[in-house]
Structure 1
Amino acid sequence: MSVISARLDRISPSQTIAMTQKARELRLAGRDILSLSAGEPDFATPAHICEAAVKAIRDGDTHYTDVAGTKQLREAAAARLNADYGLDYTPDEIIISTGGKQVIYNVFVATLNAGDEVIIPSPAWVSYPDIVALADGTPVIIPTSEHEGFKLTPHALRAALTPRTKWLVLNSPCNPTGAAYTGAELRALAEVLADFPHVWVLTDDIYAKLVYDDFEACTIVQVAPELRSRTVTMNGLSKAYAMTGWRIGYAAAPTGLIKALTKLQGQSTSNACSIAQAAGVAALTGSHDFLPPMLAEYKARRDLVLAELAKIPDMRCATPQGAFYVFPAIENFLGKKTPQGRVLSSDADFVAGLLEEKGVAAVQGRAFLHPGYFRISYAADRAVLQQACARIIAFCAELG
């Protein structure tokens, strides 16, 4: 009899991590690999944040903290939500976790019972449905369309809601599409939710500071304050602050739920790293002068990739409002063969061929619950992006 729990059969390994790992292994084996698969900023963590961590070490802030996070960091998170969105939360309504992923995991494990449904618009981040399934919930995937901007419509939301629905997941800007909801679009979704008071909202705003072309990011409680009592507003430091390895995420929610999340976290990881928490205070309360040049560089990269991909006949690619991904459509290339005889029967075949034959690592759309597309991360140097795009153009041109 296997020692492995049956519940692990409900989930799959992260396909984004798997592709990044495969690219790393090929590179170590001597292959010339350009990896555009990782969702990780290539910028250094800003110096004042690093200095705060060093100071914490020197000051001896190296011990356990409250399970929900230091009061200073919870106050800083509350202040940041107020500054960014005008939301008024107290430290008792905030929890600090070991990354945004732990916030999401804790929320679903703490609230879902067998048969509870969670609505997830696709394309979607790879981990949402697996976390829901691991927590005994039922992921309900609602495909969005490219012509509607890869965004959930009020009509589609209403059609998906049932008495068993417990959560709606919103991710804006979205991984993998970069699509972001306007305030009016969020308000329209909130008006549907008004008729379903049993449904909670988990809003994943991890990319909210990475928006372009004068787009103004917002969050659902900001435009629909009546949902405050049944919304978890999640954010973190990994993307906008280039702090992926520091592992700090946070959430604002009603105190009853925060207490439940704290109870769960107290029996799993307990508190996030004390040194990373000290750095988090500096990140949230300190200067944000690093953001404008970072955004300008990301925008330049986005525009470079879009311009290069536009050179490929039969490939469509929507312009993202935020994050650092593009999500090109590749349906027109399926069924074709590569020069090495690989038949591209799926988007997984496409990215496998691109990696094996041209040395470019990307991620298939089916990993994000949306086949027929693939994701490119432009969190990479422009020279790398230029070279990678040239290889993608050549790969598509050689298909027969």
Structure 2
Amino acid sequence: MSKLFSSLKLGQLQLPNRIVIAPMCQYSAEEGQATDWHTIHLGQLALSGAGLLIVEATGVEPIGRISPADLGLYSDETEAALHKVLGAVRRYSDMPLGIQLAHAGRKASSRVPWEGGSLLLPDEGGWPVVAPSPIAHGLNEPPPVVLEEAGLQRVRDAFVQAAQRAARLGFDLVEVHAAHGYLLHQFLSPLSNQREDQYGGSLANRMRFPLEVFAAVREAFPADKPVGVRISGTDWAEGGWDIEQSVAFAQALEALGCAFIHVSSGGLVTGQKIPVGPGYQIPLAEAVRQQVGIPVIGVGLITEPEQAEAIVAEGRADAVALARGILYDPHWPWHAAAKLGGQVSAPRQYWRSQPAEHKALFGSTRIGQR
């Protein structure tokens, strides 16, 4: 029996297998609103046979978007646009759907990646960005506006309101984004947080605002549905956030009712030195998993079915997340199930596609031919 294709519970949510589709920004929204691209993109991934699909990093307020083309969930218009997309996806797929709620902080107001990703100034269509401290992300960028008490309250409220909208939309799960150098990660790392108030300095102080945001989201989202957090296990930079601090953060989140931890890394500083290679972030997930009692999702250059199987079978992570790999091969879970002897859910329209040597891949299906 393949461990990768065994079920997993995140809180009370039962996943049919341990393959998670990670949030992947599409930079294809219009004024924060989902478009037909999202219907196509999410629609094909929802037919992939994975156990869970998490919608891309979604800005909780307009200035929290990474770029002007980012998805948002902060108005009736953005909620209605997502409702339309989800209606189409739900009609043909019962895959559990989550959404990642995010605020980009000092990494907001950027050009889309295929235009270089650099900061957009206000006279170029951008906006002033905010952060815990007046430290810019890139060289020659103006310093961000420091979030004082009123700004902190506004951001907390924005996360709450987005969580309430996600609940109305029927999402099965919320993931709070505290990784990749975005706002909550900026509070966690001493490289970006040099405050001298209750939100800076010690580890407990640097964790305070992210924990407040998580607690507020947890209270706002239905109690029977899971809320988890994505973290960067390390900044890959001297003097920055590291795995020991990540473990402490994960333990604090667990005490507040966090249902899972999704472990990535990096993204905070331009001088990071990442030892990229197959499964390079899995040791970070494993270190967290050894110290918490909730499921941990590992991610990072997981490309082969046997590799994914080994990660979960050896207990290094409870599930694996795929990102670019599943964009390249949207039926990766089908192919993994064929190799590992698992089964996946597939739409009836595709039942006739399973090869004869894998006739049980989609379960017990009988198809007539006319």
TM-score, normalised to structure 2, is: 0.29
TM-score, normalised to structure 1, is: 0.27
Of Structure 1 and Structure 2, which has the larger fraction of its residues in helix?
A: 1
**Which one has a bigger Cα radius of gyration?**
1
Greater relative contact order structure (CA < 8 Å, 6+ sep): 1
